[in-house]
Structure 1
Amino acid sequence: MSLVTALTAGLAQGDLRVIDLTNTLSAQTPALRLPEPFPNLIDFSLEEVAAYDDKGPFWKHHNIHTGEHIGTHLDAPVHWATGRDGKDVSQIEPARLIGPAAVLDVSAAVEDDPDFLLEIDHVTAWEAEHGALPTNGWLLLRTGWDRYSDDQEAFVNADEKGSHTPGVSAECARWLAEETQLSGFGVETVGIDQGNAAQLDPPFPVHHYLLGRDKYGITSLQNLDRLPPTGALIVVSPLPIVGGTASPCRVFALLEG
C-alpha cells in the first residue's frame, strides 16, 4: 500500500484523526495591542457586498479586512529585522509547513507564573524522555493559554507593567534557532515571544533568532492538550501573500487512534 493510499484509508476509516489547532477568526478574535506611539493592525472584519438581493440575487459574499498578524497566524522571516532579507509568506516551501510535532507541556508552571520563560534545560529534559527534536518539525509550547482565546483582556493579560504571557528566554531562543533543525515554533499566546519580551536581551528573542535563521512562528494555537508529546503531524496552511510578513492560517494535526 502506498503512503498516500494508507493516509487516505486511515482518514476514511477513522484510524487517523484530524484535530483543528486553529482559533476562530472574527471581529472578537483577541489581537496584540502595541503601546503608543506604535500603530496597531486593524482587527478582522467582514463587509457584506451582496446577500441574495439586488446586488447578488443568487449569492452572498463579503470583503474581508484584517491585519496579517490577527488570530492564528504564521510569522515569516521577513516580519523581523533579522530576517528582512529572508522569505515572505508566499516563498516558504510547502514541505517546511508540514512536519512532526513535538509538544512540550509547561501548563503547570504557567499556572503559577504567567511570565514563565522556557529555558534550554526544559527542552533537553523533554528530549531525554521523548527523543531529539525532529528535523523539519515544529516545537509546540503548551501553556494552557488557549482557555483565554475568546477574551481580549485575559488573553493579553496586561497591566501597568506590561503584558504577562509566557514565552522563551533569550538563551533558549538562540539555542532553538542555531542548534536544532526545526522548521518552526508554535504557541497558544498572541505572539511567539513572552508578553514582556521587549525587556529581554535582545528584545523579542524568538522573533530575533528564529526568524533570522529561516524558522517560522505560529501563534494562537488551540487544543494542544489533545496532542501527545510525539506522534502527531501538523499541517500549517497560510495564504501565499506576496510580500506578506504573516498570514492568518488554518493549522491541523493528524494523529493515529
Structure 2
Amino acid sequence: MMCIIWTLVLLVAIIPRPGGGTVVDLTHTYGPDVLYPPIGPGGTADMFNFTIMHRGYEPSLDAWLEINWFGVFEHGSTHVDAPAHYAQGRAHLHEIPVEQLIGPGVMIDITDKAKHDKDYLLTIQDILAWEEDHAQIPQASIVMLNTGKHKLYPNRKLFYGTETPDDMTTYHNPGVNPDTAKWLIQNRQVKAFGTDAHSCDPGQNSNRNRCHEEFLPNGVILLEFVANLDRMPPVNSTIFLGPMKMRDGSGGPCRILAIYGEDIAGVSAGNAMSFSILLSTSALVLNLLL
C-alpha cells in the first residue's frame, strides 16, 4: 500500500502544471476586412464569405440559436502553407504530422532594417548575429520573422507598400534571402517558418517565389500574415499551430499561439511524449502493485 501511495506522490510532484505563463495570440481575426493577395481568377472578390443562416430564438429548441455558413480562400490572412502548395506529391493540410504543429518558438526582429529598406532580405549573417545575442536556434524550431508589417494590417495600401494593391508586381515587403532559407533547412532543421508579411518572399520577387521553393519541398511549413510578433519574446517560448484539418488543402486558416513564462515555456512535443511514456509506465507499475 505504501508503494502505491509513494508512486502517486511522485506523479503529482512531476506532472507539469500550467501557471505564471503568458499566452500571445499571433492570429489576425477573420472577417470582411481580411487581406488576400489578388491571385486566382476571382482576384480578391468573394475571398471571404460569411452568411448568417439563423440568428435568433428557435421555438423547436426553446433556445437562442446561431448558425452561419462561411467560405474562405486558403491563403489569406493568418494561414499555413502546406508543402503541397509548392511541391507535387508532398503533404496536404490534413497530412501535416501533429508533431510539426508544436515546437520551440524563435522570433527574429528586422523591423529597424525594414524601415530603411522596404524590400530587405534576411541574411545568414543576420541569424548568426541574432544567435550571438541569444543562443543557437534549436533544432525543429518554429521561427518567426518580425518585419513590422503586422502593425499595418488590415490597411491594404500600407500593408502591401503600394498605391495599387491589386497589382502584385508593385508590392514591397521584406522577406528572406533564398540562400538563408536553404541554410535554415540544412543547418538548423527548422520545422516551420513564419512572417507577419504576406509572404516570406519579397514583394519584388520577379514572380519567382524562391523561398517557397526552398522551404515547402523540404517539408518546412510556412506561416503568413502572422500577428502581434512584437509581443513574442525572441526565445523561450513554445508555439502551437492550429490549422484546419482540411483534406487535400494546400493551405488554410491557422490559429497561432505563443506561450512563454514559468512552467509553460518548456512544454514541447518531446516533453509531451516523455510525459505520455511516464504516465503509461506509472500505470503499469500501479497495475503490478495492485
Residues 1:162 and 2:167 aligned together? no
Q: Which secondary structure state, in structure 2, belongs to the residue aligned with residue 249 of structure 1?
A: strand
Residues 1:226 and 2:231 aligned together? yes
Residues 1:173 and 2:181 aligned together? yes
Alignment partner of 2:152 out of 144, 148, 152: 148
Does the 8 A contact of 1:178 with 1:213 survive in 2?
Answer: no
Question: Identity percentage over the alignment?
Answer: 25
Residues 1:248 and 2:250 aligned together? no
Matching of residues 18-167 of structure 1 within 5 Å:
18-34=23-39, 40=43, 42-52=46-56, 58-80=64-86, 83-158=87-162, 162-167=170-175
Q: Work out the CA distance in 2 between the residues paired with 1:32 and 1:52.
A: 35
Q: Go from structure 1 to structure 2 and tell me whether the alpha carbon gap of 1:103 and 1:151 turns closer, same or farther (over 3 Å shift).
A: same
Distance apart, 1:136 and its partner CA = 1.5
Distance apart, 1:7 and its partner CA = 3.8
Q: Go from structure 1 to structure 2 and tell me whether the alpha carbon gap of 1:111 and 1:87 turns closer, same or farther (over 3 Å shift).
A: same
Alignment partner of 1:207 out of 212, 215, 236: 212
Q: Work out the CA distance in 2 between the residues paired with 1:126 and 1:2.
A: 39
Q: Deviations over 1:154-175 (max 9, x none)?
A: 1122357520011011211222
Does the 8 A contact of 1:50 with 1:56 survive in 2?
Answer: no
The number of aligned residues is: 245
Task: Give the match for residue 184 of structure 1.
Answer: 192
Q: Deviations over 1:42-99 (max 9, x none)?
A: 422211111126798731111001111111000000001xx21110111111111101
Distance apart, 1:2 and its partner CA = 6.5
Q: Work out the CA distance in 2 between the residues paired with 1:172 and 1:63.
A: 41
Q: Go from structure 1 to structure 2 and tell me whether the alpha carbon gap of 1:54 and 1:2 turns closer, same or farther (over 3 Å shift).
A: closer
Equivalent AA in structure 1 for residue 255 of structure 2: R
Distance apart, 1:25 and its partner CA = 0.6
Q: Which secondary structure state, in structure 2, belongs to the residue aligned with residue 99 of structure 1?
A: strand
Q: Work out the CA distance in 1 between the residues paired with 2:194 and 2:35.
A: 17
Please identify, of 171-180 and 54-63, the stretch whose mean Cα deviation from structure 2 is larger.
Answer: 54-63
Distance apart, 1:139 and its partner CA = 1.1
Q: Go from structure 1 to structure 2 and tell me whether the alpha carbon gap of 1:130 and 1:243 turns closer, same or farther (over 3 Å shift).
A: same
Q: Which secondary structure state, in structure 2, belongs to the residue aligned with residue 198 of structure 1?
A: coil
Q: Work out the CA distance in 2 between the residues paired with 1:245 and 1:4.
A: 40
Q: Work out the CA distance in 2 between the residues paired with 1:56 and 1:217.
A: 45
Q: Deviations over 1:121-158 (max 9, x none)?
A: 11121122222211121111111111111212211223
Q: Which structure has the bigger radius of gyration? A: 2
Distance apart, 1:40 and its partner CA = 3.5
Residues 1:197 and 2:205 aligned together? yes
Q: Go from structure 1 to structure 2 and tell me whether the alpha carbon gap of 1:56 and 1:232 turns closer, same or farther (over 3 Å shift).
A: farther
Give the root-mean-square deviation of aligned CA atoms: 2.2
Distance apart, 1:255 and its partner CA = 0.9
Unpaired stretches in structure 2, ≥5 consecutive residues: 1-10, 263-290
Q: Which secondary structure state, in structure 2, belongs to the residue aligned with residue 236 of structure 1?
A: strand
Does the 8 A contact of 1:176 with 1:210 survive in 2?
Answer: no
Task: Give the match for residue 6 of structure 1.
Answer: 16
Unpaired stretches in structure 1, ≥5 consecutive residues: none
Please identify, of 157-166 and 129-138, the stretch whose mean Cα deviation from structure 2 is larger.
Answer: 157-166
